[in-house]
Amino acid sequence: MTSVAKKSVIVIGGGIAGLTAGALIASEGFKVTLLEAHSQIGGCAGTFRRGPFVFDVGATQVAGFENGGIHERIFRHLRCPLPLAEILDPACIVHLGDGTSPIHLWHDPKKWQKEREEQFPGSDQFWSLCSQLHKSNWSFASNDPILPVQNFWDLIQFLKAGRSMNAFTGLFTRSSVADLLWLCSCNQDQRLRRFLDLQLKLYSQVPTEQTAALYGATVLQMAQSPLGLWHLKGSMQTLSNHLLSGFMRYGGELLLRHKVVSLVAKNSRDPWTINVVTENSLSKQFQASDVIFTLPPQCLLSLMSDQTGLPIKYRYRLEELSQPSGAIVFYGAISRSYLPLDWVGHVQLMTEKLGSLFISISHDGDGRAPLGKATVIASCFTDITTWTSLAESDYQKHKDINLHNILEILHSELHIGPDTWLHKELATPNSFARWTGRPQGIVGGLGQTPTTFGPFGLPSRTPMQGLWLCGDSIYPGEGTAGVSQSAVMACRQLMSEYGRDFNLTR
């Protein structure tokens, strides 16, 4: 076993992926420095304040808080308390926008089954196929597999994790959720299709036709016991803050307002040089044996110019990654009395102008708004190319039109007038680019199609020794639970290079 006492690891990015990776590596005795460009941690799962209101920037609900869930296991491993959270039940109320009754995603599997039977008669076979695939997937994912496999060690880990998977699952590796519908003779059910399109797009960035069957089967069952979706007490920031406590507890060093501007791979004992610009425009240089890179992998294209060690073939691979979406997010505050009684937690609306609008409403007394008031966050996907090509004056116009469209929908659904808002503002891809440093404000990873998910995705192990990727472009994909799982994978690989067998507590 190689001593790790002097091995220094730099983690780039203080979102959930970076904080998780940093805390885990630090807990193993490595010297870890986390470089974060912003003045606060959290990234897409951070928060900001406006007067008495606290808004979750991006993520508003979390998976993996149940016993044995990825966040729970990480906090248990770090011997740190899990942030306080309550289960969302229903996890979401989905309005298909066709005048039919909304669909409630209940936590209790029996209640959810009854809801499905009433809402989508004749679809039992589809759901039971999804359930079988999900069970097999889940037992695989819970063994912390390494995907995609890049070397012999990865292969062994993959095979170990795959022992519990049933062979039947393998048949569906190249299938889409639409194929599952077809197999179960549900492909003509337009209402079911509409529901699946809405839900799947949230998690996989693509509709039913393009969502990988194995991925879709699992995300369609995230809301039900024994899993579930959770609402954090206080705000989303508590997740980052708790991870940071774990990181600090094991001696990790956090440097805020340290923006990485380039990475250079050398061939010496300390192969990586990381160049940083601080808030006061000071240039700083860091050396590290390993770098855990949590920014979208496309960022490497600008951070590693020619002659910095980025292999040409890998550059091409990064250049050819699919174009992710951007997001438009409305942050509003309102008196609770204006909210319909059944508008609790999360509501998804199918709208003509904006497609899916996902609405998150704070709970009374949850720390986001004073009692009797609520924060209302409404988000939808947007094509980033329409935003990046705009001149400044057109940008403002486009932003105003989008704000108007979201407000129009909310006013009509809530039967309220424009003066009702106690606060309102809109974030565009440009805002996300500023807040998170994501190029052009891309969010949510690479999409989960049969050709890009799991074994066919971008590996966390790069062709450059000591450079590890994690975050929402890496298996198993977006979401705080997903990026945490990817951080565990990168940490396992990194530690195996030092002869360390790192396994998360079960």
Ligand X SMILES: Cc1cc2nc3c(=O)[nH]c(=O)nc-3n(C[C@H](O)[C@H](O)[C@H](O)COP(=O)(O)OP(=O)(O)OC[C@H]3O[C@@H](n4cnc5c(N)ncnc54)[C@H](O)[C@@H]3O)c2cc1C
Angstrom CA distances, 210 to 176, 449, 477, stand at: 6, 5, 15
Q: How far is the CB of 419 from ligand X (least distance, A)?
A: 27
Q: Is 254 in the site for ligand X (CB under 6 A)?
A: no
Q: Evaluate whether 57 touches 40 at the Cβ level (below 8 Å).
A: no
From residue 374 to residue 403, the character string flagging contacts with ligand X as x (rule: CB under 6 A) and all else as - is -----x------------------------
Query: Residue 22, interface with ligand X (CB under 6 A)?
Result: no
Residues 283-342 that bind ligand X (CB under 6 A): 294-295, 327, 329
457 contacts ligand X (rule: CB under 6 A): no
Nearer CB in complex with ligand X: 332/437: 437
Cβ of residue 63: shortest distance to ligand X, in angstroms?
6
Between 38 and 242, CB nearer to ligand X: 38
**Which residue, chain included where needed, has tokens 């390494």?**
146
For ligand X, the closer CB: 175 or 375: 375
Asked if residue 363 binds ligand X (CB under 6 A), the reply is no
Considering the complex, state which of residue 27 and residue 61 has its C-beta at the smaller distance from ligand X.
61
- Residue 336 phi/psi, 5-degree rounding, is -60, -25
Q: Which of residues 195-224 bind ligand X (CB under 6 A)?
A: none
The nearest distance, CB 24 to ligand X, in angstroms, is: 14
**Residues 384, 101: Cα–Cα separation, whole Å:** 33
Q: Compute the least distance from the CB of residue 284 to ligand X, in Å.
A: 12
Q: How many CB atoms lie within 10 A of CB 305?
A: 12
Query: Could you say which of 4, 10, 23, 45 contacts ligand X (CB under 6 A)?
Result: 45
Tokens 């396994």 sit on residue: 503
Exposure on the CB side of residue 308, measured as CA atoms within 13 A: 18
Q: Which of 483, 489, 491, 504 binds ligand X (CB under 6 A)?
A: 483
Which helix (DSSP H) or strand (DSSP E) does residue 412 occupy?
A: helix 392-414
Q: In angstroms, give the least distance from the CB of 403 to ligand X.
A: 15
| Binding status of residue 62 toward ligand X by CB under 6 A | yes
Concatenated DSSP letters of 316-382? HHHHTS---BEEEEEEEEEEGGGS-TT--SEEEEEETTTEEEEEEEPPTTSSSS-TTEEEEEEEEEE
| 472 scored as a contact of ligand X (CB under 6 A) | yes
Least distance in Å: CB of 128 to ligand X?
A: 27
Q: Binding-site residue total for ligand X (CB under 6 A)?
A: 37
Q: How many CB atoms lie within 10 A of CB 426?
A: 18
Instruction: Name the segment binding ligand X (CB under 6 A); options: 15-23, 124-132, 190-198, 496-504.
Output: 15-23
- Sites for ligand X among residues 408-437 (CB under 6 A): 436-437
Q: Which amino acid is at 249?
A: R
**For the chain, first and last CA: distance in Å?**
24
Instruction: Indicate whether 94 belongs to the interface with ligand X (CB under 6 A).
Output: no
Q: Is 460 in the site for ligand X (CB under 6 A)?
A: no
Q: How far is the CB of 427 from ligand X (least distance, A)?
A: 8
Question: Is 441 exposed, middle or buried, given 0-12, 13-18 or 19+ CB atoms closer than 10 A?
Answer: buried
Cβ count near 385 (within 10 Å) = 11
Q: Cα(118)–Cα(67) distance, rounded to whole angstroms?
A: 31
Nearer to ligand X, 25 or 35 (CB): 35
The answer to the question of residue 12 lying near ligand X (CB under 6 A) is: yes
Q: Which of 145, 309, 466, 479 binds ligand X (CB under 6 A)?
A: 479
* From 6-14, 169-177, 364-372, 498-506, span contacting ligand X (CB under 6 A): 6-14
Q: Give the pair of three-digit tokens for residue 16.
A: 């959930």
Q: Rounded distance, CA 113 to CA 105, Å?
A: 10
Per CB under 6 A, the segment of 33-41, 114-122, 147-155, 461-469 that binds ligand X is: 33-41
Question: Measured from the CB atom, is 18 or 332 closer to ligand X?
Answer: 18
- Nearest CA to 463 out of 323, 316, 322, 324 is that of 316
**CB of 442: closest distance to ligand X in angstroms?**
9
Contacts for 134-139: CB closer than 8 Å, 24+ residues apart: 134/217, 134/218, 134/220, 134/221, 136/164, 136/165, 136/166, 136/168, 136/169, 137/165, 137/169, 137/214, 137/217, 137/218, 138/218, 138/227, 139/164, 139/165
Nearer to ligand X, 184 or 244 (CB): 244
- 75-90 residues labelled b (16+ CB within 10 A) or e (exposed): bbbbebebbebeebbb
CB atoms under 10 Å from CB of 416, counted, come to 16
Please report whether residue 347 would count as binding ligand X according to CB under 6 A: no
Contact 305, 262 (CB under 8 A): yes
Using CB under 6 A, which of 17, 91, 105, 177 touches ligand X? 17
Do the strands 230-232 and 85-87 form a parallel or antiparallel pair, or are they unpaired? antiparallel
Tell me: does residue 471 bind ligand X (CB under 6 A): yes
Which of 4, 361 has the CB closer to ligand X? 361
* Residues lying near ligand X in the complex (CB under 6 A): 12-18, 35-38, 43-45, 58-62, 259-260, 294-295, 327, 329, 379, 436-438, 443-444, 471-472, 478-480, 483
